[in-house]
């Protein structure tokens, strides 16, 4: 089952923000792109910490649309183009996960799909309901 919190952006794409299969929720890689309401142009903060905050807010919307929460997340993968200020993103994780952290992998990549993206994160959650 496709999970979309109502984001029109995905109407023309060939993938969903998330997919639920049984009790598993697979969240597609999210970056911090924010579409300008007038032009549709994607914009990004130039700071990895600020981009991470946007991504976790997107995760929150997706999880809520699936009837889930951060407590259900069992794994994340961070794809980063820079390690500059990357350590600061741990505070964002603490804010959303508390002290119950999921398994996590970090991967340094040359670039991401959207120009200006410094980090993209995907996640897997297991829903006990």
Q: Domain map of the chain by residue range?
A: 2-126
pLDDT recorded at residue 129: 64
pLDDT recorded at residue 12: 82
58-81 pLDDT, tens per residue? 999 999 999 999 999 999 999 999
Predicted confidence band of residue 19 (pLDDT cuts 50, 70, 90)? very high
pLDDT recorded at residue 42: 81
Asked if 5 and 61 count as a contact pair (C-beta separation under 8 A), the reply is: yes
81-102 pLDDT, tens per residue? 999 999 999 999 999 999 999 9
Residues 82, 85, 90, 93, CA torsion sign? negative
User: What SS3 class is residue 118?
Assistant: coil
Asked if 109 and 23 count as a contact pair (C-beta separation under 8 A), the reply is: no
Question: Between residues 1 and 12, which one has the greater pLDDT?
Answer: 1
**Span of 29-33, 40-44, 62-66, 118-122 with lowest mean pLDDT:** 40-44
Q: Across 4-115, where does the E strand assignment appear?
A: 18-21, 24-30, 34-35, 42-43, 73-80, 103-108
Report d(CA 76, CA 29) in Å as an integer.
10
Place of tokens 């500059």: 84
pLDDT recorded at residue 85: 92
Asked if 57 and 46 count as a contact pair (C-beta separation under 8 A), the reply is: no
10 Ramachandran zone, left/alpha/beta (phi>0; psi -120 to 50): alpha
Which superfamily does 2-126 belong to? RutC-like (3.30.1330.40)
Q: pTM of the predicted model, to two decimals?
A: 0.93
pLDDT recorded at residue 9: 79
């Amino acid at each position: 089952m496709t999970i979309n919190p109502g984001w029109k952006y995905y109407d023309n794409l060939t993938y969903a923000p998330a997919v639920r299969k049984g009790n598993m929720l697979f969240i597609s890689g999210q970056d911090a792109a924010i579409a300008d309401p007038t032009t549709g142009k994607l914009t990004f903060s130039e700071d990895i910490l600020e981009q991470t905050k946007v991504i976790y807010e997107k995760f929150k919307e997706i999880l809520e649309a699936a009837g889930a929460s951060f407590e259900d997340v069992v794994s994340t993968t961070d794809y980063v183009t820079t390690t500059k200020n990357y350590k600061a993103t741990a505070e964002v994780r603490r804010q959303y996960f508390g002290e119950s952290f999921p398994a996590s992998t970090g991967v340094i990549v040359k670039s991401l799909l959207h120009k200006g993206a410094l980090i993209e994160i995907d996640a897997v959650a297991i829903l006990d309901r």
